[in-house]
A = this chain, B = another copy of it.
Amino acid sequence: MSTETTSSFDLVVIGAGTGGYAAAFRAAQLGMSVALVDRARIGGTCLHWGCIPTKAMLESADLLDRIRHAKDFGIGVGEPTPDLPAIAARRDQIVERMTKGLLSLVRKHKVELIRGEATLRGATTIHVALLDDDGKPAGERVLTSRDTILATGSRTKSLPGLTPDGTRIVTSDHILRSDRAPASLVVVGAGAVGMEFASFYADMGTKVTVLEYAPAVTPLEDAEVAKEMERAFTKRGIAIVTNARFDPAAVTADDDGVRLMVGREGEAPAELRAEQLLVATGRAANTDGVGLETTKAVVERTLVKVDQATMATAEPHLYAIGDIIGGLWLAHVAAHEGINAVSAIAGEEVHTLDYTKMPRATYTRPQIASIGRTQAECERDGIPVKAGKVPFQAIGKAVIHGETGGFAKVLAHAETDEILGIHLIGAHVTELIAEASAAMLFEATAWEVGSAVHPHPTLSEVIGEATLAVAGRSINF
């Protein structure tokens, strides 16, 4: 297709991350002509700087740990050694393979993929400063659209006064281009990103210290999960400092490493030294420099305001999805938002997205997977709640798998029995939460899920048992 015939599209999607390409592919399936614009290669943060490369690294770490326990399984084998450059190379090969997979889907769906920096001039005129494959300027192009979806994602951010130098003080972006492990690492922030890297480097033999401002690690998770997580990490030799206080501007970095004075709230600080410090304190939405000021779209605290069903901004024909609208900052959430936006554009029925029915997954060891409200959130919201909790120790497949730590906790409405939240910690729980997601979509009661047949012996039985435990009727615990 030549430039002339493709300058006008039914839909232009700005940002080719998970949300952006999901929207583009669905729009193409519905017969729209679609342009998908990104300054980087297709795949966005998730594929290039987030989910995929981190999980590739963690997969190697998990296998390393399994091999360290091989003797328990009746397997004779020498001491395994991680080969960091090989782990990094595998990580990069996986990203490359999946990027190529997306490019073939772009062709299959006849989406026009344009590399360049896009700027809105109103909702339906998009100026693109084109870039070649190496990211060098390659001219300009103006696209017009009937509708536009903005999906420009987010970037790493640091704390005020703490500037990543890429060597001593790093963000996840730096780690995901690294092929070595520091001897010691301070991780600032015990959210999913910080905890996953802490888990990975601990397996690689790095001495890891995690600093968290909040009173608990994984502070968005249910308190019992967070407690179990802290216990498991501590047992693995990872130092955890919750209620941590330090002055980001006073962190020093030189050839000897990183130094900071840190202590628990109300306690005297002590010096902490490490080879490297990872800042994992959240991300910033990419809403600056994209031309939103040329539209009526409302931006509050860097986030674009949208309708929770259609993803429409205040500017007609302009939609926004993914990290730039805030919420959960998760790839699968962005994909659903993108699909909702396209459905709305196509005139299909759309439902308000219920963010309490979006699963969350953390690939530490043990893993965490959760959906819905925590117990504290139920109590805060005045919802009468009853809980069922069953440990993996009671589940035969966990014994067989040799990893019996963790549990399932099911929260149900005390009167209606409707499931309010499911909180899992343990081996492979990220694969178990899909059932909970389906159950919550169907507004199932705990008793109903307990009545579903879970095959034996599987880890998934823990959800069956915990839902039955809500009524005091678990069989194996």
Q: What is A's interface to B at a CB cutoff of 8 Å?
A: 18, 21-22, 25-26, 29, 46-47, 51-52, 55-56, 59-60, 63-64, 66-67, 70-90, 94, 97-98, 101, 105, 330-333, 335-336, 339, 357-361, 369, 394, 396-397, 399-402, 428, 430-435, 437-439, 441-442, 444, 448-449, 451-460, 463-464, 472-473, 475-477
- The minimal Cβ–Cβ distance linking A354 to chain B, given in whole angstroms, is 10
Q: Are B458 and A94 in contact (CB under 8 A)?
A: no
Residue with the highest number of chain B CB atoms closer than 10 Å, among A22, A82, A449, A453: A453
Residues of B within 8 A of A59 (CB): 73, 400-402
Q: Output the least CB separation between A102 and chain B (Å).
A: 8
Q: Is the CB of B60 within 8 A of A67?
A: no
**A29 (CB) vs chain B CBs: closest residue:** B473
Contact of A66 among B63, B81, B98, B463 (CB under 8 A): B63
* Given A80-B76, A361-B455, A455-B361; A52-B433 close (CB under 8 Å): no
Besides the known contacts A47-B396, A77-B81, A105-B477, 17 further A-B residue pairs in the complex with CB atoms under 8 A apart: A25-B475, A51-B457, A55-B457, A56-B400, A63-B70, A63-B75, A67-B70, A74-B85, A74-B86, A330-B455, A360-B455, A428-B431, A431-B459, A431-B460, A434-B460, A434-B464, A442-B444
- Per the bound structure, the CA–CA distance linking A332 and B451 in Å amounts to 11
Q: Which of B26, B64, B399, B459 contacts A97 (CB 8 A)?
A: B399
| Closest-CB distance, A350 to chain B (whole angstroms) | 11
Q: Which of B83, B431, B437 contacts A75 (CB 8 A)?
A: B83
Query: Given contacts A67-B75, A396-B98, is CB(A458)–CB(B475) below 8 Å?
Result: no
Q: Is the CB of B70 within 8 A of A74?
A: no
Q: A332-B455, A454-B437, A456-B46 are in contact. Are A63 and B55 (CB under 8 A)?
A: no
With A73-B90, A435-B438 as known contacts, state yes or no: A430 contacts B453, CB within 8 Å: no
Also in contact, A29 and B472, with CB within 8 A (given A60-B74, A73-B90, A434-B452): yes
A–B pairs, 20, beta carbons within 8 Å: A51-B456, A52-B457, A55-B397, A60-B75, A67-B70, A73-B87, A73-B90, A74-B87, A76-B81, A78-B78, A98-B396, A331-B456, A336-B453, A434-B463, A437-B452, A438-B438, A438-B444, A438-B452, A441-B448, A442-B448
Q: Which residues of B contact A47 (CB under 8 A)?
A: 396
- The answer to whether residues A81 and B90 also contact, given A360-B455, A444-B438 and a CB cut-off of 8 A, is no
**3 smallest A-B Cβ distances: which pairs?**
A74-B87, A74-B86, A434-B460
**Chain B minimum-CB-distance residue to A362:** B455
Question: Cβ of A396 and Cβ of B82 under 8 Å apart?
Answer: no
Query: A455 to chain B: which residues have CB within 8 Å?
Result: 330, 332, 359-361, 369, 430, 433-434, 437
Residues on B with beta carbons closer than 8 Å to the beta carbon of A83? 74-76
Q: For A76, what are the chain B residues with a Cβ–Cβ distance below 8 Å?
A: 80-83
